[in-house]
Amino acid sequence: MKYVVVCGGVVSGLGKGITISSIGVILKACGLRVSSIKIDPYLNVDAGTMSPFEHGEVFVLDDGGEADLDIGNYERFLEITLTRDHNITTGKVYDQVIKRERTGDYLGKTVQVVPHITDAIQDWMERVAHVPVDGTDEPPDVCLVEVGGTVGDIESMVFLEALRQFQFRVGPENFLLAHVSLVPVLGSVGEQKTKPTQHGIKELRSVGLTPDLIICRAQEKLEPGTKAKIGMFCHIKPDCVMSVHDVSNIYHVPIMLTAQNIHHKIFAKLGLAPPNAEPRLDRWVAMAEGIDRCTDDVTIGLVGKYTGLQDAYLSVIKGLKHASIATGRNLVIEWIDACGLEEATKSKDEAAYEKAWASLKAVDGILVPGGFGTRGVEGKIAAAQYARTSGTPFFGICLGFQCAVIEYARNVVGWKDAHSAEFDEHTDKPVIIFMPEINASQMGGTMRLGARKSLLAHTLQAPGADGTAEPAQTLASYLYAGKSAVSERHRHRYEVNPELTPDLEAAGLFFTGKDDQGKRMEIAELPRDVHPFYFAVQYHPEFKSHPHSPSPPFLGLITASIGRLADVPAHQASALTPPISPPRRKNRAAAGSSPAALDLED
């Protein structure tokens, strides 16, 4: 196994996740199998209980793991499926070691950070690195490891020490370290400053780690003199200093790194001889350049409660972006605070109320995403009502799905007091109820989590008795290309009350997707002869959207918003063009050998 480790310095948020994902794209395009691990130094067991305002979105995996949003970057860029164990946290590691101590696994020894915690981290990385993640039974050739935070953080020290030891455990020929750093330009001087990078590398070397590559984030391309200076003061060849400067879209990053021959540096250090000496990035280049050529806009109103931090809806944004790329449109998101749409806001700040409603009425389509808590719920319900009555394309996710059901129950069925039991325990029409099997006494990891199967209805009604009437195809069936079942990821504690769904369906809101037991409502929609696009799902399809294959509901929203819903099948056919995959191995090599020694099929 070969390991490419990426750490960061100076400041957080430099784009380590995009950088490591881009390296993975390049290696995969050279015919290698890749996997990724994210190390998060916080004491939380996972990201499940963390505030979106503080940490951004919680990314949900197929196995129900609640992980850092960078795991989402890996899955989207590399088209792989990771597990909860691919996200290592301080909380997970300490929990494992303490449990082993309690069961006597350490035979009475004094349990210490070194060697017990550091050994546990190394064992975890080695174990998870070999897990197949590309849908085959083939182990990866290269594991990409990102260390969260910045070098020098006290929280990261134990992981850096573990990596210092790990480079000797696996051997220097199997370990490459890349350091991402900021190269700022002071406005008054206009010179690219290398001192922050020098100090970051000094801090890194003080803990026994020397980078093989320095990847510099900058506004403009690094000047030759800047590269030479960093190389001289950081004890590295100038051609191993890579420039990752600002570009028009993030999909240019793999192309940019390829142009600097980063793959050759990696192959030389790790002794790799991949099937393709040069990465096959034709699809990637076409996508990145195609985005730059988009001139027509599609404006989507995102009605949420965490609009102050866009990372809180990162996967939703990516889902919209992937669909807009497929349709050749430039995505414009109109951020609308759900609270601004509420009558309570009108009495306190009429200007904010009017502004929110003016923004909502100006968009091409409306998306109401998930969320927790009562704040903004009435605004989301109001947005669903406006979309339904105005004919504006609408897509609701999780809480957005539930708000659409509540709105329909109130304003069409006539249950004026209809609500969710989450927000009104005393409502006489609880159209949304608490799921009976959920453990209400614990917050983390107790929701309905992970990939679950949903069964799709193909028609809204049966043909007439004389056999002449054609049944109307459901939106669910149309968007998912006629599939009878789909697997999507869930994260919720409340669900539609099955006792009240017959009345809702009798009034015209159809539940066209249910769980594999036929009991839980997964999809709600209005007939297309009633509304051009009114679609809501209990699950989170954004977590399985990819740049080359947009999520079907997101594709439906974007195409409907530009008046081209009929084009969905054509876009889906285009997305089915398979990427170039690594050849299957006839035999795995003996321990310690490189992929160059493997017997490859043509």
Burial class (CB in 10 A: 0-12, 13-18, 19+), 81: middle
Q: Where are the beta strands (DSSP E) in 2-69?
A: 2-8, 34-40, 59-60, 66-67
User: How many Cβ atoms are within 10 Å of 211's Cβ, its own excluded?
Assistant: 25
CA 548 – CA 289 distance, rounded (Å) = 14
CA 243 – CA 266 distance, rounded (Å) = 16
Active-site entry in 531, 540, 548, 571: 540
Q: For residue 142, what is the DSSP state?
A: E
Residue 515 parent element (H or E): strand 510-515
Kindly report the backbone phi and psi dihedral angles of residue 374, in degrees, each rounded to the nearest multiple of 5, phi listed first. Answer: -80, -25
Q: Quick one: tokens of 324?
A: 């807009």
* Dihedral of alpha carbons 116, 38, 270, 130, sign: positive
Residue 203 near residue 32 (C-beta atoms within 8 A): no
Active-site entry in 398, 490, 522, 525: 398
Active site annotation includes 398: yes
Active site annotation includes 540: yes
Residue 90 near residue 149 (C-beta atoms within 8 A): no
**Strands 448-456 vs 485-492: parallel, antiparallel or unpaired:** antiparallel
Dihedral in degrees, nearest 10, Cα atoms 420, 423, 428, 429: -10
Active-site entry in 342, 542, 548, 571: 542
DSSP string covering 390-457, please? HT--EEEETHHHHHHHHHHIIIII--TT-EETTT-TT-S-EEEEE-TTS-TT--TT-SEEEEEEEEE-
Active site annotation includes 542: yes
Question: Which residues are annotated as catalytic?
Answer: 398, 540, 542
